[in-house]
Amino acid sequence: MQDTLTRRSFVKAAAVAGAAITMSSALAGCFNESKEPEPSGSSSGGRDYYTSICHGCIQACPCKVYLQDGVVVKIEGHPDAPTSLGSLCLKGLNQIHTCYSPRRVLYPLKRTGPRGAADAAWERISWDEAIELAASKIAEAIEKYGTYAFFCSVGGGGAYSFMQAMTLPMALGSPTVFEPGCAQCYLPRIAVGGYMYGGADQSIADCAVLEPFKGLAPKEAAKGVTQDTKVLVLWAAQPSVSQTAQSGRGMAELRARGCKTIVVDPNFSPDAVKATIHLPVRPGSDAALILAWYRIILDEKLYDEEFTKFFTNMPFLINPATKLPWLATEVFGADAQTTDPNTPVYVCVDEGTGQVAPLPFGDPAAVKAQVNPQVLATATVNGAQSRTAAQVYRDEADPWTLEKAEEFCWVPASRIRAAIDLYAGAAVAGIANGVASDMEETASQVPVGLVGLDMIMGYVNKPGATLTQNNALPPEGSPRPTRFWNGFGGMFGQMYGIGYEVGATEEANAARIAAIPEVWDPSMQSPPFMNQSTLYAMNQLLLDRLGMKEHKGLYEWCHSHIPTVREALETGEPFHPRVWFDMSGNKFAVLGSAGAWYNAIMNGGADFIICQYPMITSFQVEAADLIFPLEEWLEATGASEFGQLNYRYPSPGIIHLGETVPNSVPPKRVCDAASLKLNEKLGTVTFGATGKSMEEMGIQFPLGLGVLGGADSEESIWQSQIDTYKAVPGAENVTTKEELLEAMKNRPDFYLPTPPEEYWTYGQHLVKAADGLPLGFATESRKCEVYAQILIKMGRNGFPYCYPREQAHIDSRLGSFGGDYSPICNVPIQKEAPQVANGDQYLGKYDPDFPLAITSGRVYYFHHGTMRHAPFTRELYPAPHVRINPKTAAEYGIANGDWVEISSRRTQGTNYDPSKAVGTELSYSGTKEQNTKTAEPIRGIAFVAEVVAPGVLWMERFWNPECYDSSQSSKTGGWQESNINVITNAVDPNFNEVFGSYTNRGFQVNIKKSSRPDRVWFEPKEFAPFLPENKNEYLPDDIGVTISNKALLTEPVAFPVAAGGEL
């Protein structure tokens, strides 16, 4: 049972059909202040509370929701929650103003005006009409252009429609789905965790790292659960801001208990302010800093020698030709394979004899009797000069002395040394790796380096470490651990058989594929829907996935490469995705180079766009043709897996407005309706690029499992809540929604704990396996692969994802490790960088038009695209702050509080002289001319303080819903005025080799003094139109929303007088 239903938790949650996951990411609000500001809360008096769980960000804080006369009047943190301990941040509190916001979409809306915000107009239609419209548009496009004409997209953590968005396109035969996060957020780290040891990764935000927050709650400590983390490294992460009341509260408790922290962040974030050591690294130079750590730790033998020698692949001798470890059988013949074939024996240099010797897997004591592998060594094997993996790493790290790191990363050498000593000197420590590294050219190199550091220090599956598993220990005699691949921990592998089961032998994998029947046999137990034609079709969907030839790491979630999808919309090559179903908030706020996407859509890139969201955002007002209204989390019945650490909390729908539905309903109903239409034409519908008809392929709609996690109605979702929370004492005979709400009313203890011993578990790899050896790890070598050998094969043929078929080899100019994906941390060329002393060989050409480095990060007030409409938030943070060092501000004549304009290659500057441009860049894919201007420069407010280094800027993304409010005389979409994603780089190719991540952080900009943009609200009183009205009538005209047709607004909501409603 996982902490919170983030993308990662799906890995834990079994692929349960119908495990309806509903939630919408935006939050809610309450009623307007009456004239006389009476305190709204009388101490008790007539108020019931229900236990629920906030979905205000990527984590989930349990809370108590107080209801008076059917209206939510107060929300507070649940005091019994193990990490948040009663905290609830302003994102949770503001749910009242979002759920009751006058800007809510409460009915299906069809666009009646032209696309674009300027004169957008909507018409209310019924649910049946809306589903019919969506299904017919999809069916027409698929019938006319083939199954690849349809595609989906979804939002990041907090959107919770991952399963629907990923499985709906596959169900309708399309390979195209994407999420602005994914390669730019969490995919790299979760994938690398799997590649290197088949275990949980280093993300705090996505609740992979939970160990530090163990034992904080008094009731847990009373059960003897101790708090063991004493040293924690926050690399590119700021939990106090991004997960304010959960991990943020956890960090406050940790620091109060004496835990020392090292924070690596260009910005002086709150976690950096409270850190024992802060390393303000230059944006984009993290990889070099990591290599400086390796260099010292390897040279001074600070690593855990036994773990490194016997549980990692660092001592393996690497074949220079294949870049893969030598197998003992290749050197010593077949009989050197002394262990089970699924546990290959590799080769090392024996420290005692200095000779090349076999290195079998096994219990360190037993193996030590046979061979004592040398970590750093070079030897001749089969005539080839071979280095150990550790030696390869050491040679890569060679240039990165502390002095060179100080010069390149702008961090004082003394601080780097102090951080290494604190990290390596601790009894146990752990690294938490945040999202920033996912958004840079080094998106694979940084997590590989950081997970590798924890591994050579032996900080794995230990109390106090960050690489821990938080699930019940496998029983003794369990089989050798293996791992399935493709889509959330191998979900597609398990469902459709695609993908190589890493840790199993080739023979076992081949046998598994061969055993799949020609036609689906209902009697087969699992996986269901398994037949050769479905397998072939699904495998084709992987091979045809846009951008996957180059960036095969995206197969981890089976998401397409976003810039390649955009180019497909622009050019129709290699195929043209036309009908788009987006299941998120605001694509124009969160997609990199948002202007390029706007241009692609407005130039006819997408024929019909379907959206589902509780509000109208920039994307809907500019581009949506049809909007399904979704519930806010106060209305939405969530799935049963929500919780915090080892406690599960209910997520009941407490109130309901208009005709909103959970986010799992529209995808399922659209899929069923479209399938019905298309199954009548299986002869004429062609399956994507194959040219064959569905009939010839022997498949029908919906393909495979259909929409995973889809639900026909809210009732089926309630059932999962009821089935789960029947287990709470006193709720045994609950059968209906009303009974469940009644059972939990005013009960402080309505949650389900998991016993600590089944959650806080360690030493998984030491449990004795069936073959008598320690279980080890779910990798090819059964060890921690600090040298991520799987990445070498992946770049060449898509191993393990595309098995049994093969994907083409990557373009060798792209592979930073001699044409292959780098299996270790290295320093690829940073496309856009400031002038750095002696850094030329690692940096792209310096462009004097854009001299300043910019990076970004979250602020407390928002989560992704949410909360820009919440008045109590916008009055505190009306516009984005641009953090500037006083020296830089002085150079540009900028004072604290000035409006400033920021431009990059994607916008150039209002005084950017193209003739001065440094000339078109030779992109790696030929001499493609890079006219990368896609939008106008953006604006923010200067916050001048010593919180960033000279020459470095920092800014959070932003968008302005007020820009298309009908109170405006002229309207824009509100995504261009102050949105850093307009200037980020997803068009000028220098994507990360493995995951295709484009650059949201660490690129070059220019800045100058400017003025407040038109239409943007700034003074607190200006946000009054966003305050809930609670009037028992349709919304009056003067409040104005983008909806021109008054009839389709809020249905009368019975707000009693006590809650501010009028008689």
Amino acid at site 271: D
DSSP string, 701-767: SSPTT-STT--SSHHHHHHHHHHHHTTSTT-TT--SHHHHHHHHTT-TT-SEE--GGGTS---GGGS
Q: Where are the beta strands (DSSP E) in 25-171?
A: 48-53, 62-68, 71-77, 109-111, 122-124, 150-154
Q: Which is nearer to another protein, 273 or 427 (CB)?
A: 273
Q: Minimal distance in Å, beta carbon 76 to another protein? A: 6
Q: Minimal distance in Å, beta carbon 959 to another protein? A: 18
CB-CB contact of 749 with 62 (8 Å): no
CA angle 446, 452, 453 (to 5 degrees): 95
Q: Minimal distance in Å, beta carbon 710 to another protein? A: 35
Q: If we measure between CA atoms, which residue out of 768, 778, 780, 774 comes closest to residue 362? A: 774
Q: Minimal distance in Å, beta carbon 279 to another protein? A: 8
Q: Which is nearer to another protein, 671 or 882 (CB)?
A: 882
Q: Which is nearer to another protein, 79 or 1036 (CB)?
A: 79
Q: Minimal distance in Å, beta carbon 1029 to another protein? A: 14
Q: Which is nearer to another protein, 411 or 794 (CB)?
A: 411
> Which residues partner with 643 through β-bridges?
648
Q: Which is nearer to another protein, 47 or 656 (CB)?
A: 47
DSSP code for 341: T
CB-CB contact of 907 with 936 (8 Å): yes
Pairing of strands 109-111, 626-629: antiparallel
Q: Which is nearer to another protein, 64 or 864 (CB)?
A: 64
CA angle 379, 385, 389 (to 5 degrees): 70
Contacts of 644 (CB under 8 A, 6+ apart): 3, 4, 53, 59, 60, 61, 62, 81, 82, 83, 84, 246
Q: Minimal distance in Å, beta carbon 242 to another protein? A: 11
Q: If we measure between CA atoms, which residue out of 993, 985, 179 comes closest to residue 565? A: 179
Range list of H helices, 548-653: 562-571, 587-590, 594-600, 618-623
Q: Minimal distance in Å, beta carbon 890 to another protein? A: 13
Which secondary structure element, helix H or strand E, spans residue 674, and what is its range?
Answer: helix 665-678
Q: Minimal distance in Å, beta carbon 48 to another protein? A: 12
Write the secondary structure of 533-573 as one string of H (helix), E (strand) and C (coil): HHHHHHHHHHHCCCCCCCCHHHHHCCCCCHHHHHHHHHHCC
For the record, the structure tokens of 923 come out as: 């992109």
CB-CB contact of 738 with 40 (8 Å): no
Contacts of 107 (CB under 8 A, 6+ apart): 124, 125, 629, 658, 659, 1048, 1051
Q: Which is nearer to another protein, 243 or 531 (CB)?
A: 243
Q: Which is nearer to another protein, 244 or 826 (CB)?
A: 244
Q: Minimal distance in Å, beta carbon 882 to another protein? A: 11
Q: Which is nearer to another protein, 74 or 115 (CB)?
A: 74
Q: Minimal distance in Å, beta carbon 185 to another protein? A: 22
Q: Minimal distance in Å, beta carbon 225 to another protein? A: 18
Q: Minimal distance in Å, beta carbon 77 to another protein? A: 5
Q: Which is nearer to another protein, 270 or 702 (CB)?
A: 270
Q: Which is nearer to another protein, 30 or 298 (CB)?
A: 30
Q: Minimal distance in Å, beta carbon 238 to another protein? A: 9
Query: In angstroms, rounded to a whole number, what is the distance separating the alpha carbons of residues 606 and 550?
Result: 25
Q: Minimal distance in Å, beta carbon 85 to another protein? A: 7
Q: Which is nearer to another protein, 511 or 1058 (CB)?
A: 1058
Q: Which is nearer to another protein, 235 or 991 (CB)?
A: 235
Q: Which is nearer to another protein, 273 or 676 (CB)?
A: 273
Q: Cα 517 vs. chain centroid, distance in angstroms?
A: 36
Backbone angles phi, psi at 887, to 5 degrees: -65, -45
Amino acid at site 12: K
CB-CB contact of 397 with 387 (8 Å): no
Which secondary structure element, helix H or strand E, spans residue 888, and what is its range?
Answer: helix 886-891
Range list of H helices, 321-459: 328-332, 364-370, 389-397, 402-409, 413-425, 445-456
Computed over its alpha carbons, how large is the radius of gyration of the chain? 28
Contacts of 386 (CB under 8 A, 6+ apart): 317, 318, 319, 320, 326, 378, 379, 380
Q: Minimal distance in Å, beta carbon 245 to another protein? A: 4
Which secondary structure element, helix H or strand E, spans residue 359, and what is its range?
Answer: strand 356-359
Q: How many residues does the chain have?
A: 1063
Cα dihedral 602→605→607→613 (10° resolution): -70
Q: Minimal distance in Å, beta carbon 589 to another protein? A: 19
Location of structure tokens 């009037």? 1031
Q: Minimal distance in Å, beta carbon 832 to another protein? A: 22
Q: Minimal distance in Å, beta carbon 418 to another protein? A: 13
Q: Which is nearer to another protein, 90 or 446 (CB)?
A: 90
Q: Which is nearer to another protein, 5 or 93 (CB)?
A: 93
Give CA separation, 407 vs 213, 289, 402, 411, 418, in Å.
36, 11, 9, 8, 17
Query: In angstroms, rounded to a whole number, what is the distance separating the alpha carbons of residues 74 and 92?
Result: 11
Q: Which is nearer to another protein, 548 or 859 (CB)?
A: 859
Q: Which is nearer to another protein, 103 or 881 (CB)?
A: 881
Backbone angles phi, psi at 943, to 5 degrees: -115, 100
